[in-house]
Structure 1
Amino acid sequence: MAVAVDQPVVNFEAPATGGQTVSLSALKGQQVVIYFYPKDSTPGCTTEGQGFRDHYAQFQAANTLIYGVSRDGIKSHENFKAKQEFPFELISDKDEAVCQLFDVIKLKKLYGKEYMGVDRSTFLIDTDGVLRHEWRGVKVPGHVAEVLAKAEALNKG
């Protein structure tokens, strides 16, 4: 069953950079932004990650953790994170379990070829594990500022 706004998000566990295993249930008490992106080190994904990086202190001030998720492996994530100096962890979802939970695998088209890929999406989960906002089919420009505004408003609650 996919996530829905104003409903609790089912717990998941997934490997992440820094040798971590991220478990949603272990994050209760903090707001969480989970953003899904298609591929490490591609232009749009790099720009989006840099936006979250550049506003990281503001997200921290709003009691909000950030996690990026893609189907890339841990080694690719570690390289991407180091190169871009991301202060947050990247979750590897090679088996697409987290992608399926958030329903972000969509039919896409590139150069006339159709394939199943990650739809750039962001989710804001409150301190009780309830999904409060979702953005699907994200366009990168201005997106991080919009997510930050929602996180700050939710934190003031």
Structure 2
Amino acid sequence: MEINKKVPLLKLPGTSDLQFNLSDYKGRFLVIYFYPKDATPGCTAQGVDFRDAYKKFQALDTEIFGISRDTLKSHENFKAKFTFPFELLSDEEEKACELFGVIKMKNMYGKQVRGIERSTFVIDPDGKLIKAWRGVKVEGHIKEVLQFIKQHNS
């Protein structure tokens, strides 16, 4: 995915029986964040930060979605445990991961493993990708995303 290019139609199953379809969100900003795994420390901290800032994003007519390769059952448990007000999308077939190029070889305890590189993307109301953060560090990231949306939502 390149900046200022339209994001191809994307359909994924989500929590709360959502069938996510990118075209349903035309006219709104979307924050889509990819994370490695439900209920791990970094992913939990990231989700909690988005949860805590959710009302600020909503005030800017922005919807948030988290995506990982976990199952919907795992997502439902993760979402319920931390009361996320936004939906989590399951990408077990790695369609969205491939589209956004977030699968990377990573070192885990000295072994090379294929996994999701923590990344965040902003899609504008016309369906164009306008910002990408890759290799995200959780601390302070959500403030940066919020600030970006504020600047582009005027």
Taking structure 2 as the reference length, the TM-score comes to: 0.99
Q: Secondary structure at the match of 2:130?
A: strand
Paired position in structure 2 for 1:74: 72
Q: Secondary structure at the match of 2:137?
A: coil
CA–CA distance in structure 2, aligned partners of residues 80 and 94 of structure 1: 16
Matches within 5 A, 1:1-157: 3-156=1-154
Gaps of 5+ in 1: none
The CA deviation at 1:25 is: 1.1
Q: Secondary structure at the match of 1:91?
A: strand
The CA deviation at 1:20 is: 0.7
Q: Deviations over 1:43-92 (max 9, x none)?
A: 00000000000000000011100000000000000000000000000000
Taking structure 1 as the reference length, the TM-score comes to: 0.97
* Identity in percent: 54
Q: Secondary structure at the match of 1:44?
A: helix
Q: Deviations over 1:19-58 (max 9, x none)?
A: 0110111110110000000000000000000000000000
CA–CA distance in structure 2, aligned partners of residues 83 and 36 of structure 1: 19
Q: Deviations over 1:72-131 (max 9, x none)?
A: 000000000000000000000000001000000001011110011000000000000001
Gaps of 5+ in 2: none
CA–CA distance in structure 2, aligned partners of residues 128 and 69 of structure 1: 21
Which consecutive segments of 4 or more residues in structure 1 shift more than 2 A? none
CA–CA distance in structure 1, aligned partners of residues 58 and 99 of structure 2: 26
CA–CA distance in structure 1, aligned partners of residues 39 and 129 of structure 2: 28
CA–CA distance in structure 2, aligned partners of residues 151 and 10 of structure 1: 21
